[in-house]
Amino acid sequence: MSRYRPGVTSLPNPAGQRYRERATTATDGERQASALSLRISWLRFGAFLVVLLGLGYGVAGLGSGRQAPWFVAAAGGVALGGLISWHSRVIRRERALAAQRTVNENSLRRLERRFDELPALPFPESATASATARDLNLFGPGSVAQWLGAVATPSGRETLARWLTESKGSAREIVARQGAVAELAPALDFRQELEVAAMPLAATAAATARFVEWATARTFAELYPRLQIAGKVAALGSLAAFVAAMTGLVPLHLWLFVLLANFTWTWTIRRSLSAEMERLSAREGAFSGYADLLRLLTGRDSFAPGLAAIHARLTASGLDSAAELGKLHRLAELSDIRHSSVHTLLQAAMAWDLLLLGRVAAWQRRAGRFTGDWLAAAGEFEVLAAFAGARFDHPDWAFAEIDPAAETFTACSLGHPLLVEGARVGNDVEVGPRGRLLFVTGSNMSGKSTLLRAIGVNALLAQAGAPVCATALRMPPLAVETSGRIDDSLVEGVSFFLAELMRLKEIVTRASSSAPRVLFLLDEILRGTNSAERRIAMAKIVERLLAAGAIGAVSTHDLEIARAPTLAERLHTVHFRETIAEGPDGAVMRFDYILREGIATTTNALVLLRLVGLDGPEARQ
């Protein structure tokens, strides 16, 4: 049995208030920095005019012996240089404050579940295309991933998608993640600094993948070793000729001849060199932002085992990951010299491109093979920080106890994490043990589907190491499988009913051969056939699933299914209900979303028909 048991962390202010205060402070600072930036711009313009006037009077008075205009021009130049440096710092501060404001505003939007105001980042199709991901709304607008939100890097999104959709983590790994989340939860300043550093990397998925591929591939020096040797010989020959010419050992024109020769032969391979330089700039450019991110991660002392393990991966090579990426960034900046007029001279003097590519090859041999793991480690840290944000927002939520010996999914005050605090109703829920089915009934809109999704989402969050929307949760390792949102296909000639049967077959097959145990959640299945056949088919499917050792829940409007001979003794029946009162404007329907024992005792289809105006005389005409 494994469970992380953190100490009680007292938060001085509610999370929402903290975010509002920080956003307001950042906004005020941003306005002040913007106003100061405008004033400095005018001062720079004034200093520039002083320089122009000083130079103008100095040139006009040449020969008169007047030195004052030149002193004025020099003073204006010094002032202009100082103002430019000051202005750069103010602009950087303004941008940093804008990023802080955005981070806190987004944190508040996540807390208040204002999904339409939050960005929705793309996730790997291998995760988003799964039926369970669609049924439980794991990705896309208004999803679990958008709520967790503070995961911007491509490696972070890949990690989040994998942790939410694959139930492969051991109980020990989950406990390590929970400990990491608990440590990061109160570290609001650090987490927001991390989020700011990751924000520019949100749109670099393709470029980052290409960069890792380039960093671990064979280097240009390995592909063209003779060119590298020739480049070194050319540089040494040019240097030797220059020294000999300057000391009078050889005539100066011999050095000029060497320069011409170097430029000529490098000109013949310019296309290959230019193509490799472009690859360097294109690959490194999108990835250079990771240096700041890794500098934050490696510079922080981590005590939780899960964080210490990530820190160890970032330093296992013996290299400073952030410093290495900084070195590569500087090499990429040097490669941009090829766009300037100085490039011709450098190429003639020392075969510049080849020497630079030699330095790049040395970087690839030294650090290239570690970049993939650096990215993966940073992505895992980013996901843990996002989970910590959920913990900070909801300190009353629990960490699940993942116990391989458990026979049931048992939760206290379970709710759906995507619902805002005031609209969420928690219920005690038990799914299992083997051979027993949670059978959920109730009228339209009463909460059946939401309950099933709450079970599924919280099971996935629990196994990812995140806090769950419950005061307590104990469960065995589970593979969550759902059937709820089924799509037919005109192109493939697949009807709704057949598509649903194919999905149910997938679940039965997974339950028969899967480890860990399957948790199945079937929401209003087999609606494409008549009620008599639906009862028989549902009984057969549930029998297969229970016989395979799976545990699960089924929601339905069809109360007769509970009376099926093969199921009646195996059901744990629960229901939701509504109250209907006649008001001055007609019937008023209310739901309390409280789960009760037994079969539903109320229905509301005809009331809903009346509420939407489809039962009056006009509707019958």
State the amino acid at position 90 in one-letter form.
Answer: V
Q: Report, in angstroms and rounded to the nearest whole number, the Rg of the chain calculated over CA atoms.
A: 33
Closest C-alpha to 189, from 334, 4, 407, 388: 388
* CATH T-level fold of 401-620: Rossmann fold (3.40.50)
CB neighbourhood size of 467 (10 A): 28
Asked if residue 395 has a cis previous peptide bond (ω within 30° of 0), the answer is no
Q: Which of 233-237, 296-300, 451-455, 614-618 has the lowest mean pLDDT?
A: 614-618
Instruction: Record the tokens describing residue 351, joined without a space.
Output: 């075969």
- DSSP 3-state assignment of 318? coil
Calculate mean pLDDT across residues 190-215.
84
pLDDT band at 63 (very low <50, low <70, confident <90, very high): low
Instruction: Record the tokens describing residue 428, joined without a space.
Output: 């005690």
Residue that wins the pLDDT comparison between 587 and 294:
294
pLDDT band at 284 (very low <50, low <70, confident <90, very high): low
Cα distances from 143 to residues 134, 229, 466, 524, in angstroms, run: 10, 56, 15, 21
Calculate mean pLDDT across residues 596-608.
66
**Burial of residue 447, with CB atoms counted within 10 A of its CB: 0-12 exposed, 13-18 middle, 19 or more buried:** buried
**CA 494, CA 499: separation in Å to the nearest integer?**
6
Q: What does the pLDDT read at residue 491? A: 38
Domain definitions of the chain by residue range: 11-112, 199-391, 401-620
User: pLDDT tens for residues 381-415?
Assistant: 999 999 999 999 999 999 999 999 999 999 999 99
Closest C-alpha to 380, from 558, 77, 161: 161
Non-local (6+) Cβ contacts of 111 within 8 A are 15, 16, 19, 393
Q: What does the pLDDT read at residue 356? A: 86
Residue 159 has pLDDT above 50, yes or no: yes
pLDDT band at 249 (very low <50, low <70, confident <90, very high): confident
Dihedral-angle region of residue 428 (phi above 0 means left; psi in -120 to 50 means alpha; beta otherwise): beta
User: pLDDT tens for residues 4-30?
Assistant: 444 434 344 489 999 999 999 999 999
Q: What does the pLDDT read at residue 619? A: 45
Instruction: Enter the DSSP assignment of 452.
Output: H
